[in-house]
Amino acid sequence: MQANFPKSEGICIFCGKTFTKAGINRHLKSHLKKKEAELVEGKSYLVKVEVDPYGGSLPYFLSLWVDGDAKMGYIDTFLRDIWLECCGHMSAFSNGEISMGDMVKEVFYKDLSFFYEYDFGSTTELKLTVLEEYSVKADDDIVLLSRNEPLKWKCDVCEEETATQICIVDDEMFCGKCAKEHAKECGDFEDYASMPVVNSPRMGVCGYTGGSIDIERD
C-alpha cells in the first residue's frame, strides 16, 4: 500500500462545511459549545476515533458525539456497523477495566484515550480519545458528527486513475482498467482475492466489503 496517503477530509453534520482531519474536531467543538448553552441537561462527549497501531496517522477518522447514558456496548455496535463487521468476530476495549455493559458517563472523562480491538486474529485496532465533555444530552446515543469522506487512493499500476479494487494476495490497488489486466496474470484475483475499495480501515481484511450505516459514504 502507498506511503503517500490520500487527502482526508470530513463534512461537519451541523453546517455542511468541509474540514481536514486535523481541523474537524476543533470546529465541532464550537457547535457543541453552543448546544451546551441550550440547557438540555445531561452528559455527553466528543470522541475522536482513529486507526492504530499507526499512531493515528492513517487518514481514516470518525468524530462521534456520545451520550453519557449510552452503554459502552453501543460504541462497539456502532464501530462494527460503520467500519468493521465481516463475520461476527469478538471485540473488546483493550483497557481491561472497560466492559460493554458500563455506562459511558462512568468511563469517560476529558483526555481519556483507550484502544478497541475487533477480531483477535486479523485484528483491526482503533484508538478512541475523549476530546471534550459537555453538560448537555447528545441528540442520540451516538451521533456521527463527521467522518473522512471516501478516500481517493491512486491505482498502484497506472498511478493516475482512482483505485476501485484491491488484490489481497498482492496487496495492490487497481483502477477498473488495470484490474482487468491484473486478472490475466493473477489467478487468485478472479477466484477470491479481488475486494472492493471501501471507506474503512478494515478494507481488504477477512472478506470485509463495507458498512451497514452511512453506506453512501462507503
Question: Is cis: bond before 201, omega within 30 of 0?
Answer: no
Counting contacts by CB under 5 A, is residue 143 touching Zn ion? Answer: no
Q: Which is nearer to Zn ion, 12 or 103 (CB)?
A: 12
For residue 6, give the DSSP letter.
P
Q: Which is nearer to Zn ion, 99 or 209 (CB)?
A: 209
CA-CA-CA-CA torsion sign (74, 197, 155, 123): positive
155 alpha-carbon distance from chain centroid = 22
- Contact set for Zn ion, span 5-24 (CB under 5 A): 12, 14-15
Cα–Cα nearest to 217, from 167, 144, 156: 144
**Radius of gyration of the chain from Cα atoms?**
19
CB of 134 to Zn ion, least distance (A): 16
Stretch that binds Zn ion, among 63-71, 105-113, 157-165, 195-203 (CB under 5 A): 157-165
Contact with Zn ion (CB under 5 A): which of 24, 70, 155, 195? 155
What is the amino acid identity at position 165? Q
- Grid coordinates representing 75? 460504541
- Contact set for Zn ion, span 27-86 (CB under 5 A): 86
Instruction: Give contact residues for Zn ion (rule: CB under 5 A).
Output: 12, 14-15, 86-87, 155, 157-158, 161, 167, 169-170, 175, 178, 186, 189, 206
